[in-house]
Amino acid sequence: MADRFYQPDTVQCPYPYYEQLRAQQGVHQLEGEDVYLVTRHADCDSVLGRVEDFSNKAGPGLRQKALMGAEAAPDDAKYRVVRTLLTNDPPSHSRFRKLVARAFTARRIKELEPKIRGVVDDLIDAFPADGQIDFVRDFAKPLPLIVIADFLGVPRSDLDVFEKWSDDAAEVLGGTLSAERSRECHESLQELLGYFDDRIADRRLNPSEDFLGLLVNAVDKDEKPLTTQEMLAISYVTLVAGNETTVNMLSGMMMMLLQQNPEQLARVREDPKKIPFAVEEALRLEAPVQGSVRLCKADTEIAGTPVPQGSRVLIVAGAANRDAGVFPEPDRFDVDRPNSRHHLSFGKGIHLCLGAALSRAEGTIALEHLLDRVESLEMPADFTPEYKDNAVLRSMLELPLHVRKAAS
């Protein structure tokens, strides 16, 4: 059964497959690979906490074994992504996290809210008064892309190329890459890193208060600054992580509220205080990143299943988030669910996503303004969502809606 992981029908709707895995024993080795899927909430929670046994140096994504030999980084590549946050372990990881966390404090996220509201309103202003939109293209993708570009301190005029770079980087995480496509994505990454190299050089000459300016001026407790390579890696991770996950969350939330849970949408309209809970349920039920990878440091076991040294372990948040032992009626969208924030979509522990509060703020503000300013949101009755061929990222391709804006 575990070899169904990459199958197109599983990628399109993985949840019945996850349910079967959880019911059997929770930990399964992919056929012919050194990859183990962990699907129960308690086991995923345990692996996330066992940093002494499971390393983050496996990389942020997962590709099929047949594709692992595809040439991705030629020897003459100008830029290479060094380990900083996503693919690193303590004590090195701790240093980078402390430096970067200064940009994601509750106070700084609160200060960003007026800008987020402005971006949301601009996007809604562009909707027809009464007509068709593609919610993914016209709202879910541009919102986090604009927010993260402003956060980084790069011009909005570069958004189109930012979107391409971000999409290419995301494809590597779980897509079925050919050798040619792998090289194309590598070239895209080189362009992205070169772009940030130029911006960082500019910040050294022209100090700023944006994220790139913060990186240039950051020093640790020993007064040691970040190297250019380290700043490039952090900028790259911030762009991709700050964009892809929020796109997926916004698209999934809207689809679930309109198509599958209209009574919950009515509940949220009646009581806007429930909006943050709708965001949490969207994150739980449609984890934007379905799983995160760890590398087994030594022979060990997970829930009684032997896992050899050198194996890769995929912590399947998309499965853990629907574990009935933690979330009663796990497939039901419920804005009154008391423990909805116990999902693992943002990870846990030392690798808890630094941008979680920013993503939550974007989702909450987006839904608040959409419900306030758009009188009617209707999805075609026969619409069936389709997702990118990516076993790790849950990326909806399109979401057609008919919108009718409220009278001003």
What does the buried/exposed string (b/e) look like for 365-398 if buried means 16 or more CB atoms within 10 Å of the residue's CB? bbbbbbbebbeebebeeeeebebbebbbbbbbee
Q: Which are the contacts of 382, defined by CB distance < 8 A and separation ≥ 6?
A: none
- CATH number reported for the structural domain that contains residue 138 in this entry: 1.10.630.10
> What one-character-per-residue DSSP string does 304-341 give?
TEEE-TT-EEEE-HHHHTT-TTTSSSTTS--TT-TTGG
For residue 28, report the phi and psi dihedrals to the nearest 5 degrees: -135, 140
Question: Pairing relation of β-strands 292-296 and 130-134?
Answer: unpaired
The overall pTM is greater than 0.85: yes
What does the buried/exposed string (b/e) look like for 16-40 if buried means 16 or more CB atoms within 10 Å of the residue's CB? ebbbebbeeebbbbbeebebbbbbb
Q: Which domain holds residue 12?
A: 2-405
Rg (CA), the chain: 21
Q: Tell me the CA distances in angstroms from 86 to 4, 164, 180, 223, 312, one per residue in order.
A: 27, 21, 26, 23, 15
| 19, 322 contact by CB (below 8 A) | yes
Q: How far apart, in whole angstroms, are the C-alpha atoms of residue 269 and residue 271? A: 6
Q: Tell me the CA distances in angstroms from 26 to 189, 243, 294, 316, one per residue in order.
A: 36, 31, 17, 10
| 139, 229 contact by CB (below 8 A) | no
**Structure token digits, residue 63:** 């590709």
Q: Which are the contacts of 144, defined by CB distance < 8 A and separation ≥ 6?
A: 242, 243, 246, 247, 250, 359, 362
pLDDT truncated to tens, each residue of the chain (408 aa)? 557 888 999 999 999 999 999 998 889 999 888 899 999 999 999 999 999 999 998 866 665 433 333 344 555 678 888 899 988 999 999 999 999 999 999 999 999 999 999 999 999 999 999 999 999 999 999 999 999 999 999 999 999 998 898 888 887 776 567 778 888 888 998 999 999 999 999 999 999 999 999 999 999 888 899 999 999 999 999 988 888 889 999 999 999 999 989 999 999 999 999 999 999 999 999 999 999 999 999 999 999 999 999 999 999 999 999 999 999 999 999 999 999 999 999 999 999 999 999 999 999 999 999 999 999 999 998 999 999 988 889 999 999 999 999 887
**Structure token digits, residue 379:** 């999805």
Question: Pairing relation of β-strands 300-302 and 305-307?
Answer: antiparallel
The total of structural domains in the chain comes to 1
For residue 119, report the phi and psi dihedrals to the nearest 5 degrees: -65, -45
